[in-house]
Structure formats: structure tokens, C-alpha cells
């Protein structure tokens, strides 16, 4: 990933959260919360917390005495999360590949759509394993193939049509971990046991097609590439993408199928 691919700064996080958050991420945040194991949990770590969609539900789910720590690599994303979440959360700007915690600190680790962005995925998984207490649970999800998620598939198609040979590659990253077997092998290599990986289908709903189109362009690090190429390019793409969304997925509201892999796995207690 290049520097522009990870630039979730400036105005990008706010637009990302407002335009894509309810549509893409809220349905799966609620899904992860519904998979929290029914066991005593005193400490929770969320990795790649982004703008706090899962964090908010974690804080509402657990009693106030349960310690919740949320981290992300991007300070601007955390700033939005802090405004969203009421109640005590320990926020950290940190790298998931080198977690700033002692071993065996948490009973639950959660990561929503973050693993795909980590250059060394095995290292990130090993770190999640390290900070879990024996008997602890790890919940995570990754997107299925982009063609099985119609809105981002159409977004990629329209964006690519505006470029000859140098189309932005950002969308190859979020949808790069669509192989269930590969994910299972990574978890196994990282010492996790009894992994359950299932396909979960949801429906993304937005108040308008233009709102989602704006999110995919202005709420995305690729906006930097567009502005560097031609400042008039982004508005043109948003307009064309809005038309495609309206034609294919409707408007007021716009609805799209979503599909992702959800994994629930464990750090077993040593015999």
C-alpha cells in the first residue's frame, strides 16, 4: 500500500463515517456484538477501531466496570470515535502488529474489517493471540470478494472507467482476504484453536445513492489521487457513480447486498 492508500486524515474520516459507516459497517458491528461469548469478561481490546462503530456497541453491551481499550493507527479516526462513544474507553494510537500491552491482558479481542490493511497479517494475528488470556476469544471479520458486494463493485468499476492504465488500487486492499481457507490457515498458524468461520450476508441501506457515492470518493484515501490528477475529477466520478447506483440499487433509500466472512476463535487454556 502506498502513502495515499492509508491517508485516513483531514476530511476523509468524517465523510467516511457519515456516508459509509451506517451503510457498510453498522450491520456487521451489530453482528459481531451478537457473537460475544457468554462468559465472564473483565477486559476487552478492539483493534483497528476506526470511527468507533463497534466500540460504541461494546461500551453499551458491557457494564461500566469492564475495561475497554480501543486502538487505531489513524489519530483522526480515533478523534471521531471519541465523539461517538459515551462512557469510559481507553483510546490508543498504535500499530496492531506491535501491540503496546503485556501478554495475557484481555479476555476478548475484536477486529472489524481491519486485518486486510495490515502488511504483516500473521504478526498482527500473533499479537492478538499474545495479549489474550488463556480461554480468551477473538472475533473478526473480512469482506468477501468485491463482486459479491455490489456497491463497492460498482464503485470500482466506475472509478476504473475514468482511468487508462493507472487506476487507484485502494479497493484491492479491503477485499483482499476473501478466501475462507486462507483465513483459517492464518489463524491456525497464529496458534488459535477451534476457529469457526462463516459467511454472513447483510443489506446495506443508505438514505440516498449520492450519499454513498460521496463516501466512496471523498471518504476514501483515493481522493488524494483524484485531486493530484485533476481537481475536477472527483465531482465527475461522484456524479457518474450516483447515476449508476440509482439505476442499479435504487435511491431514497439505496440498498445493496453485503457479504463478509466472520470468524470466532479461541486461545485455549493449556492442559
Give first-to-last CA distance, the chain, whole Å.
Answer: 41
Helix axes 26-33, 53-61, angle to 10 degrees: 30
Q: What is the pTM of this model?
A: 0.94
Other CB atoms within a 10 A radius of the CB of residue 18 amount to 15
Taking only the tens of pLDDT, the chain with its 271 residues reads: 333 335 677 889 999 999 999 999 999 999 999 999 999 999 999 999 999 999 999 999 999 999 999 999 999 999 999 999 999 999 999 999 999 999 999 999 999 999 999 999 999 999 999 999 999 999 999 999 999 999 999 999 999 999 877 777 778 899 999 999 999 999 999 999 999 999 999 999 999 999 999 999 999 988 887 888 888 999 999 999 999 999 999 999 999 999 999 999 999 987 6
Query: Which ranges of 34-149 would DSSP assign to H, the alpha helix?
Result: 53-61, 75-84, 121-131
Distance (Å, rounded) from C-alpha 253 to C-alpha 249? 9
Q: What structural domains does the chain harbor? A: 3-266 (3.40.50.150)
Amino acid at each position: 500500500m502506498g502513502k495515499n492508500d492509508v491517508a485516513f486524515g483531514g476530511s476523509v474520516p468524517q465523510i467516511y463515517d457519515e456516508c459509509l459507516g451506517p451503510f457498510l459497517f453498522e450491520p456487521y458491528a451489530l453482528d459481531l456484538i451478537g457473537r460475544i461469548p457468554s462468559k465472564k469478561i473483565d477486559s476487552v481490546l478492539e483493534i483497528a477501531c476506526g470511527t468507533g462503530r463497534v466500540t460504541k456497541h461494546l461500551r453499551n453491551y458491557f457494564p461500566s466496570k469492564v475495561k475497554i481499550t480501543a486502538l487505531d493507527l489513524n489519530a483522526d479516526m480515533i478523534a471521531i470515535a471519541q465523539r461517538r462513544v459515551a462512557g469510559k474507553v481507553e483510546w490508543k494510537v498504535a500499530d496492531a502488529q506491535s501491540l503496546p500491552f503485556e501478554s495475557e491482558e484481555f479476555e476478548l479481542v475484536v477486529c472489524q474489517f481491519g486485518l486486510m490493511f495490515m502488511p504483516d497479517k500473521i504478526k498482527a494475528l500473533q499479537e492478538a493471540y499474545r495479549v489474550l488470556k488463556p480461554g480468551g476469544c477473538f472475533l473478526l471479520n473480512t469482506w468477501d470478494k468485491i463482486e459479491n458486494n455490489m456497491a463497492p463493485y460498482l464503485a470500482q468499476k466506475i472509478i476504473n472507467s475514468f482511468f487508462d492504465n493507472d487506476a487507484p488500487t485502494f479497493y484491492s486492499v479491503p477485499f483482499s482476504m476473501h478466501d475462507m481457507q486462507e483465513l483459517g490457515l492464518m489463524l491456525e498458524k497464529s496458534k488459535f484453536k477451534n476457529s469457526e468461520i462463516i459467511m454472513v450476508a447483510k443489506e446495506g441501506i443508505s438514505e440516498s445513492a449520492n450519499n454513498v457515492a460521496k463516501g466512496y470518493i471523498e471518504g476514501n484515501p483515493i481522493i488524494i489521487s483524484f485531486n493530484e490528477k485533476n481537481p475536477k475529477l472527483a465531482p465527475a466520478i461522484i456524479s457518474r457513480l450516483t447515476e449508476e447506483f440509482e439505476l442499479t440499487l435504487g435511491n431514497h433509500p439505496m440498498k445493496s447486498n453485503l457479504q463478509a466472512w466472520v470468524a470466532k476463535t479461541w486461545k485455549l487454556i493449556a492442559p
